[in-house]
Amino acid sequence: MTAPTLSAYPKQVEDLVPAARDLAAQLGTVPSRNRIKKELHVGGPKADAILAELTRTPLPAPPVDNGPAPEPAAEQTAGPVEPTPPAPTEPGPVVDPPPVADDAPPAVDPQPTPAEDPGTNITSSPARPAVVWPVVLLALPAFVAVWSGWVGLGGLTGFGVVHPLPGIWDSLSLDTAITLPIGVETYGAYALYVWLSGRVPARARRFAKWSAIASLLVGALGQVAYHLLVAAGVTVAPWWITTLVSCLPVAVLGMGAALAHLVRSHN
């Protein structure tokens, strides 16, 4: 491709636009700025002005070669065939659809219920809670052993028969040794229930957790102390064991009151 011959005098932009359009038609697209400078031998400012003119006016569409025209098909030797008229159809009655209210809900395709679905014959049964009577059966022997151990330790540490209502009911007597298993073990079981129930505030659950663990550990130590003292033939417990055992009712009272307060709190 050769550029147009230019004279010694520089041409104006409007004189170079036709040559630029011919170049764009040959390329099939708007030439770049460098291509215009190279083909038309112009500087940067004139190339910008020519490019602006090309983009402002549409480019001539390049000629499309559709190839040789197809030859007309040979005429059929047979005579013209008359088209078969369509069979008359009688239109049916037109039924207008019922009016739909503006606030009517959208129609929903009915879904088959489990009873109507022939592919599934499985019916869900309600979950049955686990039985608890085996736990009661297992706890009875442990309760007897724990009860006897605490009562025996209470006898070795000064707990015994007292008359709680002197002058009112002199015949009424009470063995204070039973307060140890009732207080320590009952509180431990209840605190364990509160901890594992998950239906109490976080503070109550945390307090129930640690107090239940402490109560069960104290109960285990009390059973160990009683059996060691009996095995050694001791009839009176040492003073430090007596001191610790005598503080248990007060400790259980404080922990029970604190746990009841935390369970009823809302935070």
Asked if 183 and 151 touch (Cβ cutoff 8 Å), the reply is: no
Least confident of 82-91, 231-240, 257-266: 82-91
HEC string of 100-127?
A: CCCCCCCCCCCCCCCCCCCCCCCCCCCC
**Residue-by-residue DSSP string for 163-192:** -SSTTT-TT--EEGGGHHIIIIIHHHHHHH
Q: How far apart are CA 180 and CA 204, in angstroms?
A: 24
pLDDT at position 218 is 94
Residues, the chain: 267
Q: Name the residue type at position 195.
A: W
Percent share of the chain, pLDDT over 70:
69
Mean pLDDT over the full length of the chain: 77
pLDDT at position 19 is 81
How does pLDDT run across 107-139, given as a tens digit for each residue?
555 555 555 455 555 555 667 777 777 888 887
3-state secondary structure of 133: helix
Asked if 219 and 185 touch (Cβ cutoff 8 Å), the reply is: yes
